[in-house]
Structure 1
């Protein structure tokens, strides 16, 4: 591999300073989450968000848990929202739903909550996650721990109860 010319080094430094980085200069986390979110790597530019998701990603599910040793959906959502958005939530998904401004799926934006009725309509809200983008959300699933899923997957589509925007 040839060394960079001074002009090429200056161009790269200029791009980094302007935060306009080509795909070749993207960090591995950007590639990982571009794939998981099914969006172009150039659209991934929030390293704080990526690092937070990655620090939780794969954490095993533990009912009542709220640490990286084991976490359930509301524990994860509460910790995630406090860490990234500096928002304090209750510890229960049904209460989170009751305390949020309800939204339809097409109105969801990054940081909104997504709610599900996983035990039937009469059981009420039983699952929560955080919407990211492109129909994807991060949550603690009982089978796979903290993962990114798609609202269009048959399971989540059939259980989706609505979105919620936190109002503090």
Structure 2
């Protein structure tokens, strides 16, 4: 009876160990056969910066309202521009690179603010027609003389203001008789330079109500 009991105990022990090892082996096999859960990819956007998990660096892709792509040639021309170009670009309301006639704008700068004086012909006092004659001679090498009415009779009339080009003459009839009484030289973008009776040599705008009211025509020499 003792031998059977011992033999039975030994057989049960062996079976228990075998079952336990099978359970462990099965668990390991299930664990090995189950595919690994992939790591979730994360994409985060912070102020327009996109960051991916496998990226080595962040790439900024923000384009705001004031973001502009500069043209290298434009940037270079701005760097090379002189102070007078910035001044007259602002007065004419045109890009700086459009202001390139150094002879013309140096002349205007030299005479800027010279007071008006009827019949005058110097920087201490000059009238509109003498200023036009002086500028045409110095800048465009044109030998012209005469008052505003005489100049008006010499030019080839322009039918439309859209035809105006640099150096054309613009005329005004300011007096009550509606005769030509004032003249200036057209520059660009509706701006003209002249010797004003109130401000001296200055640049004005043809679209200003005063000049628009008295504008009488334009012509080319």
Aligned residue runs from structure 1 range 96-135, under 5 A:
96-103=151-158, 104-120=160-176, 122-135=177-190
Specify the SS of the correspondent of 1:22.
helix
User: What is the distance in 1 between the residues matched to 2:78 and 2:171?
Assistant: 34
Alignment counterpart, residue 78 of structure 2, candidates 18, 23, 26: 23
RMSD of Structure 2 on Structure 1 (CA): 1.4
Residue 209 (structure 2) aligned to one of 151, 154, 159: 154
Q: Is 1:38 equivalent to 2:100 in the alignment?
A: no
Q: Deviations over 1:99-131 (max 9, x none)?
A: 1001131111000000000113x3410000000
Moved over 3 A (4+): none
Distance (Å, rounded) in 2 between the aligned partners of 1:127 and 1:105 = 17
Mean Cα deviation higher: 128-137 or 45-54: 45-54
Which has the bigger relative contact order, CA under 8 A and spacing at least 6?
A: 1
Partner residue in 1 for 2:193: 138
After TM superposition, the score normalised by the length of structure 2 is: 0.64
Shift of 1:36: 0.5
Distance of 1:132 and 1:90 partners within structure 2: 20
- By how many angstroms is 1:66 displaced? 1.1
d(CA) in 1 for partners of 2:192, 2:137: 17
| 2:127 corresponds to | 72
The structural deviation recorded for 1:88 is 2.0
Of 109-118 and 82-91, the range deviating more from structure 2: 82-91
* CA distances 1:38-84 after superposition (whole Å, capped 9, x unpaired): 10111111111110111111101111111111101001001001111
Render the CA deviation track for 1:118-146: whole Å, top value 9, x for unaligned.
113x3410000000000000000000000
Aligned residue pairs total 147
- What SS class does the counterpart of residue 140 from structure 1 fall into? strand
Instruction: Please give the alpha-carbon distance, in whole angstroms, between the structure 2 residues aligned to 1:21 and 1:138.
Output: 29
TM-score, length-scaled by structure 1: 0.84
1:91 aligns with 2:146: yes
Deviation at 1:24, TM superposition (A): 2.3
